[in-house]
A and B are shown apart, each in its own frame.
Chain A
Amino acid sequence: MKQHSVCITGVGLTSSMGHSYNEFSSNLLSQVSGIERVKAFEVKDHPSQIASLIEKIPCPVGYDETEFRSRLRIEQCGIWCAESALRDAGFKVRPEGLRIGLVLGLGAEWMQSWEMDYRRGGRRAFDPTEEPAGLTTKIHRLLGLKGPQLTISAACASGNWALSQGRRWLELGWVDICLAGACDIGVTPLSLAGFGNLRALSRKNDAPHSALRPFDRDRDGMVLGEGGAVFVLERTSEAEQRGARLYADVAGFGATSDAHHMVIPCPEPQQGIAAMRQAFRDADVMPKDVNYINAHATGTPVGDICEAKILEAVLGDAMSHVPVSSTKSLTGHLLSAAAAIEAVACLVALEKQVIPPTINLEDPDPECARLRHVLNEPETLPIDITVSNSFGFGGNNTCLVLKKAA
């Protein structure tokens, strides 16, 4: 039951392509790829040796730099994103009694924490008595939030889920404002090895910038990335009342599960199609109305073809004119945070009226060639409605519709 329109009024992010909305926007549209050879740890024995890494996550204003740096990077990421989102929305000082909720998409928080702690000489992986609170609780406490909190994971679709749940809490009246987004610091030695051995990662180690090639015939896998994005969500009527900047309406969401395999996407696209149609119904839009689709397209041989089938079925006759791109070609695949950073890419498209391209798409795979790709250069078009697909391990399919705020 959708009772209220919900909009985005603040954005906080960190990625290899910038630590603010404006910086990210500029780099996205200038096609500055954040992918390079990994230097943070030894990779000579890894099958894939490239990633999209953040050199240093900024310390928020008012925080003690030494204390901030002593935290694990996943914590730094979450704190920076949440704090800067609130500031961006004008909540540098929070009114007393304001119920702010927090929904974070975190797929492998504990594994990453255990590994980072182990590399620092810690023993948290072995001893539960050393275990602190989870990241969502830590941020909730640190920011003094009074609303409910939630950690949610649907693998690489977690970010879309977080936005959907934040919107739901606003509709239910459980919160006045909700922070919703996702973080992932997934480029660790073990994770790079695990995904690499799974043959999910590109091995074009000598050409980092051109390695990730969604929809291209020469694609050979994804490239991992790290970072996150957190959004401030508000009921539109209240955001308008206080004169907030409205980035976009969170207009629709759809989610289904394949129930097919823990890793491999279902070759039959019915559930992906159903997720997109749910989101369209929820947003009250028709395929022909859509101005931009940010595809999940990770650059894996199987996944991109599956998504092309889904898009063909959903768009039908509109396929020839609805532009599609995969911004992962620039950002890398941020895993649990992928949907969140791709929602930022949709906000950029809505604000600038420019579609970010899929770079490295030189020779479209014949099975994906019928889509209306935005190839290698940004494209200026009127944009009112954007759609972002995110799919994940375990057969998770999600679709988010963001509309230009009135």
Chain B
Amino acid sequence: MTITTASSHKNRTMKSCSLDCAVTAYATSRLSFDEVNLLRKQSDNLPGALGNSVLRHSDEQTLAALATVRDALNQFDSCPEDFRDWGVVCSSRYLGRSAFAQALTKFAIDGPWNVSVQVVPNRSLHSPASMVGLALGCHGPCVGVGGGLDGETDAWITATSLLDQQSLPGMWLVFSGWEPDEHVDLEGNALSESRCTALVMALQPMSVPVHKARLQIQYDSLSPAAVEVPAKTTAFRLFERFLSEESDQKPIAAMLGGGLRADLSWAPVIEASIPLSTPISVPQKKAA
């Protein structure tokens, strides 16, 4: 952890810390309504093989998150053996809107006995993080953050501060939402064409030998205090820009409000076939 001075209150001399972590895997998904709902019947192709009966009740954003985690698992240069001690932070946007709209209409017609018991457990803010944690067997903290158009900043802050605080080996950082946000009719059916998007990053301490990018959260007195609503760009689009050729490997910054900013930069490419931290034994040298 790097220490830098930063205090705007003249009577206070507190120092402010910046947090750095490594991005060791990432993936993005952009799925149509039909594509994302098809995942309910493809439990075996998703992490944890939770069973179609479990996925049947999941929100579309949770399904997109699971599919994107699956893709990210293939991106590790050195995939951890398990994710037992990892945590999950998930920022979803208006989770469960269409299902809830449907539930409201149904309640007005049928009354309380037909309200599904699955709404609260599967459409609350914590639900996608808990489901990803369940699929990967994560016993670290699994929390939902944000929830609205102004909520993605919460995920950057929380994932990095938890990773630093709790000596976790890694943290899954997940963003999900519909782009554009869905308009639905009284039955909860989408009235306009939208895509369910998800961005997943595996964050690990900077001490890991190989990583793809670096994420830094720091206090910057020039960064704005207020959070923009609606945010100028979603994390998904920000990351797409980061991945695009136009970015020219330049770092990308996001203002998180409260004077905090996130900087995402590519890691230098290390041309080494043996991890630098691993001592080379004599037989290995001979073989080389």
Contacts and interface: CB of A to CB of B under 8 A. Distances in A.
Contacts of A97: 8-10
Contact of B125 (A108, A129, A174): A108
Nearest to B226: A141
Interface in B95-135: 95-97, 100-101, 103-104, 107, 111-113, 115-117, 119-127, 129-131, 133-134
B184 A256 contact: no
B126 A107 contact: yes
Contact of A173 (B14, B101, B136, B258): B14
Contacts of B154: 149-152
B209 interface: no
Given A45-B113, A173-B15, A256-B141, A393 B182 contact: no
A238 B14 CA distance: 10
B235 interface: no
Interface string B243-273: 0000000000000111110000000000000
Contacts of B11: 95
Nearest to B112: A193
A263 B121 contact: yes
B121 A146 contact: no
B160 to A, nearest CB: 10
Interface string A132-173: 011011001100011111111111001001000100110011
Given A111-B124, A151-B154, A193 B133 contact: no
Given A152-B143, A168-B165, A114 B104 contact: yes
Interface stretch (A24-32, A184-192, A213-221): A184-192
Contacts of A115: 100, 104
A68 interface: no
B2 to A, nearest CB: 11
Nearest to A113: B148
A394 B113 contact: no
Interface stretch (A73-81, A194-202, A338-346, A353-361): A194-202
B16 interface: yes
Contacts of A107: 124-126, 144
A255 B137 CA distance: 15
Contacts of A128: 94, 97, 180-183
B121 to A, nearest CB: 5
Contacts of B96: 110-111
Q: Chain A contact residues: over half helix, strand or loop, or mixed?
A: mixed
A152 B143 CA distance: 7
Interface residues of B, number: 83
B206 interface: no
A95 B185 CA distance: 48
Contacts of A45: 111-113
Interface in B120-171: 120-127, 129-131, 133-134, 136-151, 154, 157-158, 161, 164-165
Contacts of B288: none
A261 B256 CA distance: 33
A336 to B, nearest CB: 9
Contacts of B38: none
A193 B185 CA distance: 23
A151 to B, nearest CB: 6
Contacts of A210: none
Nearest to A4: B14
Max chain A CB contacts within 10 Å: which of B124, B150, B225?
B124
A134 B125 CA distance: 13
A190 B12 contact: no
Nearest to B95: A110
A389 interface: no
B111 A257 contact: no
Nearest to B131: A262
Interface string A67-102: 000000000000000000000000000010111010
Interface residues of A, number: 79
Contact of B126 (A46, A134, A153, A196): A153
Interface in B179-209: 180-186
A114 B17 CA distance: 38
B219 interface: yes
B274 to A, nearest CB: 31
Nearest to B116: A194
B227 interface: yes
A173 B126 contact: no
A396 B258 contact: no
A381 interface: no
Given A394-B126, A394-B130, A149 B119 contact: no
A198 B9 CA distance: 50
A151 B151 contact: yes
A183 to B, nearest CB: 13
B282 interface: no
Interface string B3-28: 00011111110111101000000000
A99 B158 CA distance: 18
A147 B147 CA distance: 19
Contacts of A191: 120
A147 B259 contact: yes
A140 B6 CA distance: 21
Contact of B16 (A172, A192, A393): A172
A108 B144 CA distance: 11
A171 to B, nearest CB: 8
A248 interface: no
A1 interface: yes
Contacts of A118: 104
A148 B88 CA distance: 21
- Top 9 closest pairs, chain A to chain B, by CB: A394-B130, A148-B258, A193-B112, A128-B181, A153-B125, A173-B16, A193-B115, A134-B148, A198-B117
Given A108-B124, A115-B104, 6 more contacts: A95-B11, A193-B111, A235-B14, A238-B12, A262-B122, A396-B130
21 contacts: A95-B11, A109-B148, A111-B96, A114-B101, A126-B101, A128-B94, A150-B145, A151-B145, A152-B145, A154-B142, A154-B143, A154-B144, A169-B161, A174-B260, A190-B119, A194-B119, A256-B139, A262-B121, A394-B134, A395-B142, A396-B143
